[in-house]
Amino acid sequence: MQYLTSEEIKTLEHKANDIRQSIIEMLTEAGSGHTAGPLGMADVFTLLYFGILKHDPKNPDWEERDRVILSNGHICPVLYATLAHAGYFPMEEMMTLRKLGSRLQGHPHKGALPGIETSSGPLGSGLSQAIGMALAERIDNPYSSKFFYCLTGDGELNEGQIWEAALLAGKEKLNNLIVIVDRNGIQIDGYTKNVMPLEPLAEKFEAFNFDVQEVDGHSIRALNDAIGKAQAVYSQPSLIIAHTIASKGVDVFERDFRWHGNPPGKGPEDRVTHEEQAAVALQKLRTLAGTIEAQDIS
């Protein structure tokens, strides 16, 4: 595990805020796409690409790289924005999101962009893909130091394939697999506790022979510590339940499932009109940047 100083954490928080602003700009330009999940997972993606992963944007097919498998592909704006900020492709290309002929499709497509490891869209399949990759790596190279990070949504856990895959991961004791669940409590039709209750979630995965941790998905330090502990697990796959706030950073959007699949300009108007939504979101995030600079991180 890499220790992060207070200044390094502050730098990562600023980067996450920059990525959130890019997400708002991308979605506004596209006029379609998902807001809640991408904003909520910006801290996780920032820590992975700027603090955890073995990767090289100048050599995206580097054989020794760690792999990130995005299972809930609809939150791809946060993946695209993070890859652009990390140098995988030009920043200005972010504004082509969802446009005809764009490499930034509405769901990730392997081969369309450097840094995209799998195609995703149909929910529930990403964990199976990650397990296959992790198992193949162990067979091909028993002494490999690569990690396979699979990111899923909590609503996605309604899919039966997730649990079939989890059975295999536990059986094979895939200690090179780290699953991160975006536990924001929402999905497209409402709140997860109403659509399909998941609790006791940690105990369910423990019963499938996963090592499980629960953390604040917006604390860079807590996330870094959890991933470090997961990397040290010897004989089990790991699962980190990251408790996040949907649409984090834009308080007038936060925790509202109606922002799951709507971009600024098409979201609910009971708090902000369509015409004001993008500007308000960017102003909130720019104000938050000043708060990050002023805070004392211990």
- Whether 42 is covered by a domain: the verdict is yes
97-113: pLDDT as tens digits: 999 999 999 999 999 99
Domain with 42, as residue range(s), is: 6-294
242-298: pLDDT as tens digits: 999 999 999 999 999 999 999 999 999 999 999 999 999 999 999 998 888 777 665
Quote the pLDDT of residue 292.
Answer: 87
Q: Cα torsion for 214, 215, 218, 222, to the nearest 10°? A: -150
What is the pLDDT of the chain when averaged over all its residues? Answer: 96
187-218: pLDDT as tens digits: 999 999 999 999 999 999 999 999 999 999 99
**Counting beta carbons within 10 angstroms of the beta carbon of residue 258, is it exposed (0 to 12), middle (13 to 18) or buried (19 or more)?**
middle
- Whether 164 is covered by a domain: the verdict is yes
- Whether 1 is covered by a domain: the verdict is no
Quote the pLDDT of residue 121.
Answer: 83
- Whether 240 is covered by a domain: the verdict is yes
Quote the pLDDT of residue 205.
Answer: 98
| Average of per-residue pLDDT across 225-230 | 98
182-195: pLDDT as tens digits: 999 999 999 999 99
Q: Is residue 166 within 8 Å of 208, Cβ to Cβ? A: yes
CATH number of the domain to which 106 belongs: 3.40.50.970
pTM above 0.95? yes
Quote the pLDDT of residue 290.
Answer: 85
Provide the domain count of the chain: 1
114-160: pLDDT as tens digits: 999 999 988 999 999 999 999 999 999 999 999 999 999 999 999 99
58-69: pLDDT as tens digits: 999 999 999 999
Quote the pLDDT of residue 295.
Answer: 77
| Average of per-residue pLDDT across 80-91 | 98
Quote the pLDDT of residue 1.
Answer: 60
- Structure tokens belonging to residue 78: 């946060």
